[in-house]
Structure 1
């Protein structure tokens, strides 16, 4: 049985780091060995839920600029799975969720940055699914709900994003977190651990400093996808990791 995860993919330079956080990613990969992965990355946005039907090896997408040359030499040639993609298409349609296909989409840095630590052999099939930050939060959660049951087949659903993600609030070189960012994450962590979906879907109105922490929702909505896919009273959601970089950049990760 696989849980679902919300994982912070960090900045592109995370791929070159050795830190407490990368150690956490490595240990998480050793603990969970899925047959396949369904990935919702904040860095793939489409108006209609779009599924990657690429077979693989999947292209490593360098969707960033001005970083060290070593980053552009990293590849993560994981296999795709058109068979799993077709299945996802079917369950989404059954739930009344329109979809489109993308036959070429590889892995953007919201995926391979942390997967290279979790599963360095790049041998687990991955199907990416796009996000749409403009949908109501209740609909974001419903997209995840359509995938309930995949964990029982050892398919790992991952939402890749960040809880606090505001480039205008980054404090370069600052080691300690800003209090407002901690207060926002405290609120989110409490609602996640108590599976308080009713409050979470209203986070933008109820959570302290919500507009400051989430000026745009694309990095936050993968949390709803992951949590919805594992929505069950059988296991208690939990915080896997808490940490910050640059004063406000959150590394909160959750397991559902």
Structure 2
């Protein structure tokens, strides 16, 4: 089933990890084999929705700092697709969503996920930017423009993190869960599984501890876009969940 998904990309350490989470990504890739992937990356920001279009092998964007040399030698030689980029652009334009094509390579919001899900790098990848400052309803509307792409064999991925607050990040991977993180995650899970778009569009005022869990929304809005791109009325599935470093959620959902 190629229904849209929200997948956390983890930290740069995810690139080389062999964990329960990376095993999940590997299973997901084996069970979901699209013709192309459209991925909204929390690490690709622009005011106007920007589609990275190319038919060549993507360049790598190492947008993290202070890691060992091997982290800057990772390659994920997937190609892009100008055909898929044009399909997506046309859908946005029909909905009146400002859009442009401008090339950008694969960043940390893209390749750690795909390295584990599709290690052969044999599926075309089209990265798309996020504007974290748009209201939640507009984020969902961006996703709604892409409803039904799975019928053309195109998988929509929102890549981010449900909770992303480095000030609350515990250095111990097995640290006890922070109560605020548990409450926020549980609220988001409940509303997402119920496909409660109204509540999720007002998560900033309704969800407990939203300001602490989402101090800046660039990692959260890929969830809203993936939610919007799912077919209305279809059951939402929880694919994976764990909580590490006290507050780092890996909740993964299929819409």
- Normalising by structure 1, report the TM-score: 0.97
Answer yes or no: is the 8 Å Cα contact 1:243–1:252 preserved in 2: yes
Aligned residue in 2 for 1:129 = 128
Aligned residue in 2 for 1:202 = 202
How far did residue 212 of structure 1 move?
A: 0.4
Q: Name the stretch that deviates more: 239-248 or 12-21.
A: 239-248
How far did residue 54 of structure 1 move?
A: 2.0
Structure 1 residues 102-122: Cα deviation after superposition (integer angstroms, max 9, x where no partner): 1x3111010001100000000
Cα distance in 1 for partners of 2:77, 2:243 equals: 30
Alignment of 1:22-171 (within 5 A): 22-102=22-102, 104-171=103-170
Q: Once superposed, which parts of structure 1, at least 4 consecutive aligned residues long, lie more than 6 Å away?
A: none
Cα distance in 2 for partners of 1:212, 1:231 equals: 31
Aligned residue in 2 for 1:15 = 15
Answer yes or no: is the 8 Å Cα contact 1:54–1:106 preserved in 2: no
Cα distance in 1 for partners of 2:49, 2:40 equals: 10
For structure 1, list consecutive stretches of 5 or more residues without a partner in the other structure: none
Answer yes or no: is the 8 Å Cα contact 1:56–1:77 preserved in 2: no
Answer yes or no: is the 8 Å Cα contact 1:2–1:153 preserved in 2: no
Cα distance in 2 for partners of 1:2, 1:154 equals: 7
Answer yes or no: is the 8 Å Cα contact 1:37–1:156 preserved in 2: yes
For structure 2, list consecutive stretches of 5 or more residues without a partner in the other structure: none
Structure 1 residues 136-161: Cα deviation after superposition (integer angstroms, max 9, x where no partner): 10000000000011011121000000
Aligned residue in 2 for 1:180 = 180
Answer yes or no: is the 8 Å Cα contact 1:140–1:225 preserved in 2: yes
Q: Name the stretch that deviates more: 242-251 or 114-123.
A: 242-251
Structure 1 residues 184-223: Cα deviation after superposition (integer angstroms, max 9, x where no partner): 0000000010000000000000001100000000000001
How far did residue 73 of structure 1 move?
A: 1.6
Aligned residue in 1 for 2:3 = 3
Cα distance in 1 for partners of 2:60, 2:148 equals: 29
How far did residue 174 of structure 1 move?
A: 4.7
How many pairs were matched up?
254
Q: Does 1:225 align with 2:242?
A: no
Cα distance in 1 for partners of 2:246, 2:56 equals: 38
Answer yes or no: is the 8 Å Cα contact 1:7–1:160 preserved in 2: yes
How far did residue 231 of structure 1 move?
A: 3.3
